[in-house]
Amino acid sequence: MIAEPNTASNLPSQKENAVHDETAPESAVQNGSSVRNGNLKTPSEKRKVREQCENIKRNSSSSRRVSQLQNGEVVEAVTLFEVVSMGKRAMQSVVDDWVEAYKQDRNVALLDLINFFIQCSGCQGMVTAEMFQSLHKKDVMRKMTETFDEETGLQYKKFMAYPWILTVTWPVDTDNKDYPLIRTGPYWKKFKANFCEFIAVLVQQCQCNILYDSYLMDTIISLLTGLADSMVRAFRHTSTLAAMKLLTAVVSVHLNLDVNKHNAERLYEVEKKRTSGKRTNYRLDQLERKRKEYERKLLEIQNMMNAIFKGTFLNRYRDVIPEIRATCIEEIGSWIKTYPDGFLNDSYLKYIGWMLYDKQAEVRLKCLLGLQGIYSRKELVSRMDLFTSRFKDRIVSMPLDKDHEVAVQAMKLLMLMSQNCEDVLSTEDCETLYQFVYTTHRPLAVAAGEFLYKRLLSHEGDEEVQPEGGGKFGASTDRLKRLISFFLESELHKHVAYLIDSLWDWAGKFLKDWECMTTLLLKNAEEDGEALSDAHESALIEIILATVREAAEGHPPVGRGAAKKILSVKEKKIQLEDCTKITEHFIMVLPQLLAKYSTDAQKVANLLQIPQYYDLDVYRMEHLRKHLDALLREVKDIVAKHSDMSVLEASSRTYYILCSEEIAIYSQVDRARTQLIDELMGQLNQLLDGFWQKEEGFCTDAGEISQMHSALRRVAAFHNAHDLTKWNLYDKTLRLLVFEMEHGSLPVLMILPALQCMYFSLLWQLTAVSENSPKETLFTLRRELRCFSQICMCFLHHKEKDVREKAFMILCDWLLILSHQDSNNNEEAVGLLDYLPSTSLQEKLLLFIQKHVFMEEEEESKDLTEEEDRKDESCKLDDLHKKRSLLAAYCKLIVYNVVEMSAAAEIYKYYVKTYNDFGDIIKETLSKTRHNNKIQSTKTLILCLQQLFQTHAESQDSSSSVDFHSASFTNMKELARRFSLTFGWDQVKSRESVAMIHKYAYLQRYIAEPLPCRGDEWQPLIWYRNSLLANEDEESSVLGSSGELSPVGTSKMSSFKRKLSNGSLPVTSQTEAEGKAPDLQCSSQLASAEGKRRKRLKSREMHLQEHLPFLCPGGLQRRYCKDEIKTEDVSKKSQAEDTTEDVDVDVVSADQDS
């Protein structure tokens, strides 16, 4: 609160009131007119303070400051700060009340306003005021100090707020902790907006007279300038925001005055042309006086603007606090946009350009937003040439910013620069920016899509200009060709879905022109020499598929966006209309496209994915049935021609989509499907019969092998989506696989599809198990399941790598399915068919992972050409992808408890070594297992580290101690550190896991096996606590006992626990006090000896700390009893640090003994 000086500003002859000693802040405290804000409890105290410090003198019409009688009770008025904080009243009326008070007594009102700014800074201290009219300038400057008094623990600041010198005193412990601008909660969420609104309305209401009285603004500007120079963040932040908003409001006043001045000048010129009369001369004099008055006010306003800019902005735009820097940059952008004649020059633009390099994303974002407001206006861009040339490279690089929002706004700014600045972006710049359409962050990709569409695809006049021979699709065809050319030149052919998604918001109408796309594909080169090339046709088909998927699904592709988008009612309506449009068009066109490209596997595979987005109800119309027959006929021909798996799977899925029993065309499609499968099985049976009729049982002809391979692949592709059980495929493939197990002479091309067919056959049988299935069927199926598992186990050691990997993947999926089946609520079937891997099988799976995933194959150094080196890198990437798939399949078995969780210890050993390749998979496994079972997961981590340490110890020379500086031990420490980081910062969530580390790792040093509880203490825990305080001799004596603690040891422990308490002994009953008498007798001895022990443990800890293989969060004291874990909060920081040090010493010792 502010104490009013005893002298008014209109009495300069009076002496200074309450002059304070500049070196003694206590003077402010002793001043009788000073009060401390925040310590007033009762209404009488509050009333007394208001009368003394605020001198509230308002007229009877003032609704904010006058006490009113309501319901017979006196309701006290509130301060400006409280009114603005609550925001429950119109700011206009609040400011009007203050203006009326200022007109009556400007000193009192001004002190009230000063107090408002101090309170908005969150100051809970005292504010005193003294007059300085009688002081010389040198004395005034000598009082401008900011000092911390170590004796009183108070910090105070003296600064000038014309016509006073203000002294603010506050406790140092409240500095920078909390103030209204950064407070959270519903009460404070609108404070900043209310605060800024108050300043804007205040200037607006004072712009007629009060603003130019050379008193109000001088005081406010000097006050805010003084606070902005403070070392206290709350003062700097609040005053800087107020000063910037004040300058923004003053700029608006300047614009209004400028308009009024020009109007007055025009009126003066009009009147001057009117020739005669005294009245005319009087009018001219009146207009001349008004014009000069406007000029005087403009000069004063300009001086105010310069004072605020130089006094606050220039000192704070490089402030250490990013919020303050962001506020300055945001407002200068507003000034330039609002008043370009005064601020749009390089003297002000340079500050925005410099802050584009700021380390904080918030500041960079404000710079970009400010520049967007400037570059969006063509009339301003011509004055930005120097700035553009100087900072263009920086802006072009900002879409790569690590902050997503900054990158998005940078791309939008570049879009504006491209539109309004001619040739500002080079071709290289544009090509770089185009590639952002493939980024995974969708807002940035959409902004880049706008840039690409408007810069490259959409040209002005495209709709009006029709190329020769272009027909009605002339403009769309040109755009489409440009899009295809861009897609091919980018050489990112697998990312077409990302490209379409980026352009969808800007070119949706163009991308839905499927009639134009298909017409371009079906053009005959003989009729039109502009037909597409083969590469362009492939790209266009990929674009068609991507647009159909985007329109039908309505959400971004996989990898762009966390979850599927929730569509609104309008969006759902558009989606349904698009699906209908897709169906009606492609029902007629798709058979023609399939017929044209039937020999091209890649094009056919993409085209066959379109029917899955059909609205199948459209087929109800009879005139469309003929098109369905054409589609089925083309698909059948494609299956007969191709053996490529992508084509066969797409064909199988097409039949699956069209064979839905709910639609009218089911019977028609089902007949076609049955006929096709009969033909496929007939071909396979014929080939198998010829194969088994050979004397050697093996066909050596490459053509026959290729035919068998193709037939098996076709059947496997259809068996994946359709139930082929009635064709008895299991027995046919079983005979092939058994023959391979016995003779090992089948080619890989036959083994892989046969293994896949057998797997699908068993899955369909397992799915068909119902509640009424007979036991004979269940026993037969069980026998087949066991047989298939044995075949996969045998193939884990096959000579061919592809067979080994295929068998492992199928076996992992098979075990996962069998262990989590429900068999349609048939408990008997679950019991018979349930299959958990045996210990030997688990060992084989683990050995397979260690051998084929983590073991690096030796590579021979070869001199390769550039083309061969590129192919080699591609092979390495494919191999890495296969290894990741193998590891992920095995980790799923661990996560879903199919294999023992302890098996994960072998996987965790490679966490650090293979972090770049498999770190994400291992980390996710660790997270999932901890979620399933915290205790068992922790035991697995301990087991991993113990095994590593044991291996390290065995590798050392038996005659020497363990080498703590070797590479293996360093890697072990790093692994332990990574494990510790996975526990997180929440000690409550991780306390069970940490307790398990103590119980099963640390305490193993002191006991051979768990001991029972005694009383309120778990016996091993007592041993552990004593070991932290005792020296080596005492440890030996304790360990040599028979499990019972001596009275001295017990007393030491009890005293140590009391020492770590909150500073006083706990309140105990008389019986407990008698039982603890020995503890009290020896507590004084322990207090003197404990410091010496600490020094010995400290030196020992400093020597061994770097060898620590475990990291454990401190701050919790554990107590164990009957397998329950109780946690006691530790209140003192020093206690947590001492406990951590003791634990560290014990950990190293435990590891050494192990």
pLDDT digits (tens, 9 = 90+) for 321-367: 999 999 999 999 999 999 999 999 999 999 999 999 999 999 999 99
- Look at residue 934 in the predicted model and tell me its pLDDT: 87
Helix (H) / strand (E) element for 74: namely: strand 73-75
Under 8 Å between Cβ of 795 and 803: yes
Quick one: tokens of 900? Answer: 């023992």
pLDDT tens for 691-713 read 888 755 555 678 888 899 999 99
- Look at residue 699 in the predicted model and tell me its pLDDT: 55
- Look at residue 781 in the predicted model and tell me its pLDDT: 86
Whether the predicted pLDDT of 197 surpasses 60 = yes
Under 8 Å between Cβ of 124 and 209: no
- Look at residue 149 in the predicted model and tell me its pLDDT: 52
**Predicted confidence band at 134 (pLDDT cuts at 50, 70, 90)?**
very low
Residue 567 to residues 504, 575, 965, Cα–Cα distance (Å): 15, 9, 60
Under 8 Å between Cβ of 574 and 505: no
163 upstream amide cis, omega within 30 of 0: yes
Lowest mean pLDDT among 28-42, 554-568, 935-949: 28-42
| Range among 248-262, 269-283, 937-951, 1108-1122 with highest mean pLDDT value | 248-262
CA pair distance 414, 907, nearest whole angstrom: 48
**Torsion sign (Cα): 985, 990, 991, 995:** negative
Under 8 Å between Cβ of 811 and 842: no
- Look at residue 287 in the predicted model and tell me its pLDDT: 83
**Torsion sign (Cα): 766, 772, 775, 776:** negative
Q: When comparing pLDDT for 865 and 1103, which is higher? A: 865
- Look at residue 560 in the predicted model and tell me its pLDDT: 86
Residue 219 to residues 119, 763, 930, Cα–Cα distance (Å): 17, 85, 63
Task: Give percent above pLDDT 90 in the chain.
Answer: 41
Whether the predicted pLDDT of 820 surpasses 80 = no
Quick one: tokens of 67? Answer: 């006490």
pLDDT (average), residues 868-873: 75
* CA nearest to 239, candidates 177, 324, 163: 324
Q: When comparing pLDDT for 870 and 385, which is higher? A: 385
Helix (H) / strand (E) element for 845: namely: helix 839-849
Task: Give percent above pLDDT 70 in the chain.
Answer: 69
Burial (0-12, 13-18, 19+ Cβ within 10 Å), 1080: middle
CA pair distance 669, 169, nearest whole angstrom: 88
Lowest mean pLDDT among 109-118, 282-291, 884-893: 282-291
**Predicted confidence band at 1016 (pLDDT cuts at 50, 70, 90)?**
low
- Look at residue 137 in the predicted model and tell me its pLDDT: 41
- Look at residue 214 in the predicted model and tell me its pLDDT: 85
- Helix 514-521 vs helix 474-490: crossing angle, to nearest 10: 70
The answer to whether the predicted template modeling score (pTM) of the entire model surpasses 0.85 is: no
Whether the predicted pLDDT of 172 surpasses 70 = no
Under 8 Å between Cβ of 600 and 608: no
Under 8 Å between Cβ of 143 and 195: no
Task: Give the list of residues 6+ apart from residue 680 with CB closer than 8 angstroms, or none.
Answer: 639, 711, 714, 715, 718
- Look at residue 822 in the predicted model and tell me its pLDDT: 61
Whether the predicted pLDDT of 1153 surpasses 50 = no
Burial (0-12, 13-18, 19+ Cβ within 10 Å), 602: middle
Whether the predicted pLDDT of 129 surpasses 50 = yes
pLDDT (average), residues 414-426: 91
CA pair distance 331, 337, nearest whole angstrom: 10
Whether the predicted pLDDT of 1042 surpasses 70 = no
Whether the predicted pLDDT of 829 surpasses 80 = no
Which residue blocks in 421-553 are alpha helix, DSSP H? 427-434, 442-452, 474-490, 496-511, 514-521, 534-553
**Residue 943 CB coordination number (10 Å):** 18
| Cα 1066 to the center of its chain, rounded Å | 47
| Range among 614-618, 743-747, 754-758, 823-827 with highest mean pLDDT value | 754-758
Under 8 Å between Cβ of 481 and 537: no
Phi-psi region of 224 (alpha: psi -120 to 50; beta: other; left: phi over 0): alpha
State the DSSP code for 379: H
- Look at residue 661 in the predicted model and tell me its pLDDT: 80
Strands (E), 306-348: none
CA pair distance 1116, 1129, nearest whole angstrom: 6
pLDDT (average), residues 52-66: 37
CA pair distance 513, 480, nearest whole angstrom: 10
Strands (E), 348-501: none
CA pair distance 589, 722, nearest whole angstrom: 27
Burial (0-12, 13-18, 19+ Cβ within 10 Å), 112: buried
- Look at residue 1020 in the predicted model and tell me its pLDDT: 59
Quick one: tokens of 261? Answer: 């001045």
Q: What mean pLDDT is reported for the chain?
A: 76
pLDDT tens for 70-123 read 344 443 447 888 888 887 678 888 899 999 999 998 888 888 898 898 889 887
pLDDT (average), residues 489-512: 88
Query: Which residue pairs, CB below 8 angstroms and at least 24 apart, start in 888-892?
Result: 888/921, 889/808, 889/809, 889/812, 889/813, 890/812, 890/845, 890/846, 890/849, 891/921, 891/922, 891/924, 891/925, 892/812, 892/816
pLDDT tens for 250-263 read 999 999 999 999 99
One-letter amino acid for residue 792 of the chain: C
Task: Give the list of residues 6+ apart from residue 523 with CB closer than 8 angstroms, or none.
Answer: 530, 531, 532
Under 8 Å between Cβ of 163 and 205: no
Lowest mean pLDDT among 1-15, 356-370, 676-690, 968-982: 1-15
pLDDT (average), residues 1115-1130: 34
pLDDT tens for 597-619 read 999 999 999 999 999 999 888 88
Whether the predicted pLDDT of 1049 surpasses 50 = no
CA angle 814, 727, 654 (to 5 degrees): 75
- Look at residue 963 in the predicted model and tell me its pLDDT: 75
- Look at residue 1032 in the predicted model and tell me its pLDDT: 38
- Look at residue 279 in the predicted model and tell me its pLDDT: 52
Quick one: tokens of 339? Answer: 């008043």
Whether the predicted pLDDT of 1019 surpasses 90 = no
- Look at residue 1092 in the predicted model and tell me its pLDDT: 42
Q: When comparing pLDDT for 374 and 968, which is higher? A: 374
Q: When comparing pLDDT for 562 and 175, which is higher? A: 562
- Look at residue 1141 in the predicted model and tell me its pLDDT: 35
CA pair distance 516, 499, nearest whole angstrom: 19
CA pair distance 789, 841, nearest whole angstrom: 10
* Secondary structure (3-state) at 982: coil
State the DSSP code for 2: B
- Look at residue 1148 in the predicted model and tell me its pLDDT: 29
CA pair distance 493, 1044, nearest whole angstrom: 75
Task: Give the list of residues 6+ apart from residue 612 with CB closer than 8 angstroms, or none.
Answer: 653, 654, 657
**Predicted confidence band at 417 (pLDDT cuts at 50, 70, 90)?**
very high
**Predicted confidence band at 856 (pLDDT cuts at 50, 70, 90)?**
low
* Secondary structure (3-state) at 36: strand
Whether the predicted pLDDT of 411 surpasses 60 = yes
Between β-strands 126-131 and 73-75, what pairing exists: parallel, antiparallel or unpaired?
Answer: unpaired
One-letter amino acid for residue 731 of the chain: D
Whether the predicted pLDDT of 267 surpasses 80 = yes
Lowest mean pLDDT among 203-207, 485-489, 564-568, 1090-1094: 1090-1094
**Sole residue written with tokens 């490679």:** 910
- Look at residue 857 in the predicted model and tell me its pLDDT: 56
Q: When comparing pLDDT for 1143 and 948, which is higher? A: 948
- Look at residue 1022 in the predicted model and tell me its pLDDT: 66
The strand pairing partners of 157, in sequence order, are 146, 168
* CA nearest to 446, candidates 455, 436, 433: 436
pLDDT (average), residues 253-281: 80
State the DSSP code for 160: E
